[in-house]
Amino acid sequence: MATMNISLPDAMKQWVEDQVQTGRYGNSSDYVRDLVRKDQKRAEAREKLQQMVDEALASGIVEMSRDELLARMRLKAKEAVEQKKRA
């Protein structure tokens, strides 16, 4: 595993130490790794959302009722939740 040294303002350093003291993290490195993992997941989700927006814009206008659109969105959301549970 690689090592990285970072500089933090005192208030941020204290925050990291406080998070470790809660017992949720073994040390400050565990906390920072957790933050990086969460940021990676957010970036992946943002990228996927942007891809979906781009595809939707490229597909043109679709004649669909509001109810049909909502039903389709609910189905896609349900499928995404089920897929996430399996992962």
**Tens-digit pLDDT profile for residues 23-75:** 999 999 999 999 999 999 999 999 999 999 999 899 988 788 999 999 999 99
Read off the pLDDT band of 84 (50, 70, 90).
confident
pTM passes above 0.75: no
> Which pLDDT does position 68 carry in this prediction?
94
Which of 6-29 are b and which e, b meaning 16 or more Cβ less than 10 Å from the residue's Cβ? eeeeeeeeeebeebbeeeebeeee
> Which pLDDT does position 58 carry in this prediction?
93
